[in-house]
Amino acid sequence: MRKLLGIGVLALGVAFSGSAFAADGAAIFKAKCAACHGADGQGTAMAPAFKGNAFIKDSKEDAISTVITTGRDGAAKKYKQFAIGMPKQSLAGDDLKAVVAHLKSLAAK
């Protein structure tokens, strides 16, 4: 009985831990994006704002994901007024989807 209970608790922990962490796009944004784009996505001297950003608002999730994972530098830079390009980020799966959803929510403001 103890063994069965232990397995059940472990299974619940695994089921909830992955989705709980992956679903928090705001926390991932804060950790990986806010230093350049601002805590609330308002933009800084280093990177553009996400609030009201037409590219984020109008683009499909796949296009935004590609920019996040491959970056934009040199001739591929969209916002030439910023000295640095967009560095590629190592996000994938649910984490990437959660960040894109968070960016879309910021752009809608």
Instruction: For residue range 20-50, list pLDDT tens digits in order.
Output: 444 699 999 999 999 999 999 999 999 999 9
Blockwise average pLDDT, block size 10, the chain, 109 residues = 46 44 81 93 92 93 94 79 87 94 94
CB atoms within 10 A of CB 84: 10
Fold of 24-107: Cytochrome Bc1 Complex; Chain D, domain 2 (1.10.760)
Q: What pTM was computed for the model?
A: 0.74
What is the rounded CA–CA span in Å between residue 75 and residue 43?
21
The full set of domain ranges for the chain reads 24-107
